[in-house]
Amino acid sequence: MAFSSIKPQRSLVEEVCARIATEVRDGGGTGDGWLPPERDLALKLGVSRPVVREATKRLELQGLLEVKHGVGTKVVDKLHKPLNGSLALLIPDEAERLRQLVQVRFMLEPENARLAAENATAAQIRKLRAALKELEGTTDFSTAVEADMAFHRELAAASGNQIATLLLHSLSELMQASLTHGYSRTSTDNAVRQHAAVLNAIEKRDPSAAAKAMREHLITAEADLALPKKSKKAA
């Protein structure tokens, strides 16, 4: 006799989490970015208030909701926050965090550029152009950092890969630290030129050229950081 495996059912809290997440994605809530009060939400879902409370806590930890005690529960877009918040604990040494960030960017961003050359919409290309224009025109340090980050975020979105986009957002705080460190030592000239090369390849729908231009940009960005060489541990 053939038996099929039994698939475990999700817990009630997990079901409520999934339902709330679906409603949020579909534009649910009160229309102003807030969930209905806990009592009303429990009645709508047919569950107890403790179940709703536990579900909202989990979604808050995941960065989808923000619970403001005495006020209500607000829908937010901070899905990247859990990773951002744990990096300093995982890698206490800042230089090592920046070094590992560069390694991850080499893994991720040339492919983002390649995919963007294949998938970017006209609207996404306009956003990339706007981020480049802001970087090119600014003389303000903090604006330069934000414009640089915006270009890379828009590039990830233009790749069409939502996981890649979320991964880049999850590194935003470390990216900001990296760019701040780099721009403290150099001007925006190289970044402007190299971002333009990436965008030009995307506009020409040339995936290989886009990936190559991004790799060249990351080589320069790594050099701008001038991180101390990692000491080898004794065997």
Looking at the structure, tell me whether residues 103 and 161 fall in a common domain. yes
Residue 58 counted as domain residue: yes
Q: Are residues 152 and 64 in the same domain?
A: no
The total of other beta-carbon atoms located within 10 Å of residue 109's CB is 23
- CA angle, residues 6, 12, 13, in degrees to nearest 5: 120
The answer on 197 and 111 residing in a single domain is yes
Identify whether residues 127 and 207 lie together within a single domain. Answer: yes
Q: Which domain holds residue 27?
A: 12-75
The per-residue pLDDT for range 62-118, each reduced to its tens digit, is 778 888 888 888 887 665 555 655 677 788 888 999 999 999 999 999 999 999 999
Structural domain includes residue 127: yes
Residues 31, 116: one domain? no
Cα 168 off chain centre by: 4
Query: How many CB atoms are closer than 10 A to CB 29?
Result: 17
Q: Is the predicted pLDDT of residue 168 greater than 90, yes or no? A: no
Residue at 148 is within a domain: yes
DSSP state, residue 37: P
What is the reported pTM? 0.69
Query: So what's the pLDDT on residue 84?
Result: 58
* 65 and 112 both lie in a single domain: no
Question: What is the C-alpha separation between 88 and 171, in angstroms, rounded?
Answer: 12
pLDDT tens sequence across 116-129? 999 999 999 999 99
At 217, which CATH number?
1.20.120.530
Range with lowest mean pLDDT among 46-50, 115-119, 126-130, 205-209: 46-50
Closest by CA position to 71, among listed 15, 32, 21: 32
* CATH code, 59: 1.10.10.10
DSSP state, residue 43: H
Does residue 6 lie within any of the structural domains? no
Residue 233 inside a domain? The answer is no
Q: Say if residue 184 is exposed, middle or buried (CB neighbours under 10 Å; 0-12, 13-18, 19+).
A: exposed
